[in-house]
Amino acid sequence: MTVKSLTRRGALGLFAAASATLTLGAPAQAQVDFSGRTIEWIIPFGTGGGSDTWARFNAPFLSRHLPGNPTVVVVNEPGGGSTRGTNLFAQRARPDGLTILGTSGSTQFPYLLGDPRVRYEYQDWSVVMVGPTGGVAYVSPSTGVESIEDVAKLQGQRLVYASQGATSLDLVPMLAFRLLGFDVNYVFGFGGRGDGRLAFERGEVNIDYQTSSAFINNVTPLVEEGKAVPLMSWGVLDADGVMQRDPTFPDLPILEEVYEMVHGEAPSGPMYDAYRAFNIAGFAAQKMVALPEGASDELVETYRQAWRDVFNDPEYLETFEAALGSYEQVTDGAADALFQAGTTIDPEVRAMVVDMLATEYNVRLGE
């Protein structure tokens, strides 16, 4: 193990030296041109999942708007809850613009939690695009709740939630329920949110959340039949860094509002800070496109320009909603703000979450 990491480090040093020479030569080239080149877009997840679909949707548009129209291929490198492919990128990608990375909430979470498998550092990279998404929590009418006004009824009841794991995106609802003082029994080992929804439909669990598109397609019919009651959305981050209602669900309050309904004051304190950090990392800034360490300013600008052009492409505007849901992907300042908010956490807040996961859910991260 040590030998392996030593050679890796040695190799890393060589790469750093090589990339230094490259960046030195870069300013001479005024214009970046990718004609005839192939750009590998590393996706640290398997084929067919959300991140893969997201990248495959975006790839042809990126190809169309990068100078020289390079071929953009999606390279799946799954494993280790996305840490493997991301480590590979951190270790090997050269800052020549030919290798880019697509991350997701599951890449941000282990980084924020200090998972020992993480050997990547977000702050080394340049994030050129961020794709937000949203989620909605809902409960079964068997809880006696008919609308969010009845939220007080949920306190003191035994609620059951089907979870994919305490360190997955389900950490966000877990922290939210905690802030609201719900007594939730988490049953782990679910393969995905779809399986959790199935358990909800069977009546095995009475509280659940789904990402926006899954909620619209699969839970809305249940709401219409009176078999599910929407509670709140995770909200979106505005330009000033304030959580706002999700425009997809304008009638649903966000956790911050529900917290006030329950506790009579705006949320604050380390638990809320933790919720906010993981909520942004998991939803508002879920998908990120990163260039490796050492990418020149020209290169970053080239990619930003490409994304600006993608967002104005009429075909993109026509199709993105069906494939990705109604959340607008962003670049430039907005992307930077989301990137910063989604990849930083106060060390004390992190320690508190890690400690909570260890004592209550037997999660051991620092082995």
Partner 1 sequence: MIDVFLTALANILTLQHLGYMMIGVIVGLMIGVFPGLGGIAGLSLMIPFLYGMETTMALAMLIGLVAVIPTSDTFASVLMGIPGSSASQATVLDGFPMAKRGEAARALSAAFFASLVGGLIGAVVLTGFVLIARPVILAFSSAELFMLSVFGLSMVGVLAGKSLVKGVAACALGLIIGSIGGAPATGEFRMVFGVDYLYDGIPLVIIGLGLFAVPEIVDLLRRDRSISEHTTLGAGWFDGIRDVARNWWLTLRCSGIGALIGAIPGLGGTVVDWIAYGHAVQSVKKDPQFGKGDVRGVIAPESANNAKEGGGLLPTLLFGIPGGGAMAVFLGGMVLLGIQPGPSMVGSNLDLTYTIVWSLALANVLGAGLCILLAIPISKLTLIPFKLLAPFMIAVICFAAFQATRSLDDLIVLLATGVLGVYMRRFGWPRPALLIGFVLATQAETYLYQAVQFYGWEFLTRTGVMIIMGITAGSIWLGLRARVSEATPAEILAVEARDTATGPAANIRARGAQIVFALVALAFFAVGIHDSLQQSFLGQVFPLIMASAGAIFTALVLVLLVVGKPNHVVSSDTEHEAQSEGIPLRSTFGALLWVALLVALTALAGFIIALVAFFIAFLRLRAKASWLMTAILTAGCTGFVLTLASALNMRFPGGLLQDLYRLPWPFS
Residue from 26, 39, 66, 74 binding partner 1 (CB under 8 A): 74
**Residue 317 tokens, joined:** 């505007």
What residue has token string 């080149």? 37
Among 32, 65, 77, 206, binds partner 1 (CB under 8 A): 77
Q: Is 22 among the residues that bind partner 1 (CB under 8 A)?
A: no
* Interaction between residue 86 and partner 1 (CB under 8 A): no
* Part in contact with partner 1 (CB under 8 A); list of ranges 189-197, 234-242, 271-279, 344-352: 189-197
Residues 290/131, Cβ–Cβ less than 8 Å: no
CB of 54 to partner 1, least distance (A): 9
Q: Cβ of residue 191: shortest distance to partner 1, in angstroms?
A: 8
160 sits near partner 1 (criterion: CB under 8 A): yes
Nearer to partner 1, 151 or 166 (CB): 166
Q: How far apart are CA 278 and CA 321, in angstroms?
A: 25
For β-strands 207-211 and 158-162, DSSP reports them as unpaired
Q: How far is the CB of 15 from partner 1 (least distance, A)?
A: 7
**18 belongs to the binding site for partner 1 (CB under 8 A):** yes
What is the closest distance, in whole angstroms, from the C-beta atom of residue 105 to partner 1 in the complex?
A: 16
Q: Is 167 in the site for partner 1 (CB under 8 A)?
A: yes
Q: Which residue has the tokens 């609201």?
A: 180
Q: Does 319 bind partner 1 (CB under 8 A)?
A: yes
Q: In this structure, what are the phi and psi dihedrals at residue 74, rounded to the nearest 5 degrees?
A: -90, 125
Residue closer to partner 1 (CB basis): 70 or 267: 70
**If binding is defined by CB under 8 A, does position 16 make contact with partner 1?**
no
Instruction: Rule CB under 8 A: choose which of 21, 123, 268, 362 binds partner 1.
Output: 362
DSSP letters along 39-55, please? EEEEESS-TTSHHHHHH
CB of 187 to partner 1, least distance (A): 4
Backbone angles phi, psi at 3, to 5 degrees: -60, -45
Helices assigned H by DSSP within the chain: 2-25, 50-65, 83-92, 105-113, 171-179, 193-202, 212-214, 220-224, 255-263, 270-279, 297-312, 314-324, 332-343, 347-361
The dihedrals phi and psi of 41, each to the nearest 5 degrees, come to -105, 100
Distance CA 74, CA 39 (A): 9
Burial class for 20, CB neighbours closer than 10 Å (0-12, 13-18, 19+): exposed
Minimum CB distance to partner 1 smaller for 267 or for 325: 325
- For partner 1, the binding residue among 7, 29, 142, 155 (CB under 8 A) is 7
250 binds partner 1 (CB under 8 A): no
For residue 168, give the DSSP letter: S
By the criterion CB under 8 A, which residues form the site for partner 1?
1, 7-8, 10-11, 14-15, 18, 38, 40, 46-49, 52-53, 56-57, 60, 73-80, 84, 94, 117, 160, 165-167, 185, 187-192, 194-195, 197-199, 201-202, 204-205, 213-214, 216-218, 221, 319, 322-323, 361-364, 367
